[in-house]
Amino acid sequence: MSSEDKLAILKEVRHKSYIMERSKQELKSYLTNVTAEDNCLTDYKAELVQLEQEKVARLEELRQLENDMACIEVLVDQTNQAKGGAYSGACESYGHFCSVKKQVDILRSECLGLEMSQALDMDLQEMVDRLGVTEEQGENGTNRPSLSRKCPQCDKDIHKNSPVCTFCKEKIRGNKS
pLDDT in tens, 82-108: 998 899 889 999 989 998 889 998 888
Q: What is the pLDDT of residue 17?
A: 95
Q: What is the pLDDT of residue 151?
A: 83
4-42 b/e (C-beta count within 10 Å ≥ 16 → b): eeeeeeeeeeeeeeeeeeeeeeeeeeeeeeeeeeeeeee
Q: 3-state DSSP call for residue 171?
A: strand
pLDDT in tens, 119-159: 888 898 889 888 888 876 444 334 444 557 788 888 877 77
Classify 141 in phi/psi space as left (phi over 0), alpha (psi -120 to 50) or beta.
left
150 phi/psi in degrees, rounded to 5: -90, 140
Is the pTM here over 0.75, yes or no? no
Q: What is the pLDDT of residue 155?
A: 80
Please give the single-letter amino acid code of residue 26. E
Q: What is the pLDDT of residue 142?
A: 41
Q: What DSSP string runs through 109-121?
A: IIIS-PPPPP---
